[in-house]
Structure 1
């Protein structure tokens, strides 16, 4: 155990960008022009509303339980949204060394009951939309672009790839309001299928929460916060979606100001990782699919390399994370659900070898370079 004299003096949270308290004169309805929009209490709610909207538009009285395709490496909130909307989640493996769907497995999973596919934008890495649409062909299956981990860096990027697109404004997201979400639909309105009500929560309480989170994620403070066992920091669990409401009015008034702040913010650490780690990264993703990254994903050759690098980076408080830690069927709470699951070798291998590096504004270039050195050294180290 570390002595007090050798303990780390600071520790970075995995995410840590500050939230703007300003109220913009521009309405959030100005975002994503040409899309029907609804602002909700969470990204999970946004996904559920998208699925409900699909059912509302295409439901047949004699139809069996509608199915939605989800990747085997993803947040369990996708399952929560599907179950709340009355869908059967169908789990499909991802590609080798790539968070996108295994296309052969994706094609095999489609049935006459498939109504939607959730295409996850993983940390800023887009799904292979053209390939998915080629497999779907002329069927009426809808593609939901799940952007919980990404937000457009420019106004020009607001042309979306899915029939529906969802965003999350939760803590630690690209655009954070400590909660909230957005669902968009091309060429139509979304609110007709939703009973969501916009709740007017106390503005001063929300501001207090923002200031508290900002304080607790300061590196000199966070090193003590992460020692509290009851917070369960970094643990991924399934949480049932019980109800849906609209985005609170105080958060909605601050959406545009936070979009503007996000787009003005630069990430020196992300540029350092891309420049120095891309050539050795086992992650096989073309540059054209990579947008601005919520965290930098690095894929090691094996689990031992990843675990050694994670322990070392954690020891020095550098904010590294292993994300979900396991493939979807092994996440706490999923096994108890009545979902058909099998073996997803690529997803399980991916989860065992993935380490993500922080890109938020509190990470100094010096500490980003320390992370590069740790990752590089462990990647080159032979393991048994």
Structure 2
């Protein structure tokens, strides 16, 4: 097949116009009111991404906590400072999780037990969280090992993945033993304001965003973040999963059901305006990656490990390989299920992917023309 090399000066390097109404984040233990009765706070993370944004909603008789922080470092101490200094005479009355990841639910069980209050979460996130936070290396199994070998990591990589299984449980206090289910369209009335649940998928199974209709505020969790892109990953628990399809479908739907002028309160970086610009950029970003992977497979069949440099230009550390590989496989599964890649197993048990869509040269030319004629737009 003729190869039309896609210039890396492509749409994925462009940034849509976003505006940031707050110049800086609040200090740990401090609250910043971003809308009437809506408060922004930060907790540290021991990662390259060194923070998470959490939110408090003030009700007439108490406070709703949206996401909880990770169960490491000074998180508990900072929460106690907030309880002592920031809540006045009102107690916490509920804890809400946008999704199950440890930086969002790590302290949820502790918070619910401390205040003896209900835990709100979607069913998909609650059940997935129970599985991942209770898993140990004993649960790795032959299917997970096969998934790593199929990806091209070999036995050494499979053993490393086995050793890392169960990490979520070390940074998450025991999840609450019951929950109140959030679903698409669920409405919570808080301080006379209606908050509607808008569910996305892809980054996690059933991610709950909260849209304050009268305030025109969206608590977006990890579903929509400025400046960085959320990980969309396939794991050995569902090796044939297609989370990227769910992610793209969610973003297309968000364009229809949420206004562009909403104030977006993300889990990372700063609150921003420009939701539709950001959603379109994220869609284009992944479509660009899909096309680049398809192009890389046009001349010779490649493994997922061999294709990592197509998506990640920087050198990946050992701790980053798992998520990076999961994201690469998510893109490959999307193309495979759509019939644009074929997949075979080589003598070492690795999947190899080969582009089979005859429209690829035409699509590469079209994308290159767009890249050549579009001007960069600054954030």
Shorter-normalised TM-score: what interval?
under 0.3
Identify, as 1 or 2, the structure richer in strand.
2
Say which structure, 1 or 2, has more relative contact order (CA 8 Å, 6+ apart). 1
What is the TM-score of this pair, normalised by structure 1? 0.25
What is the TM-score of this pair, normalised by structure 2? 0.26
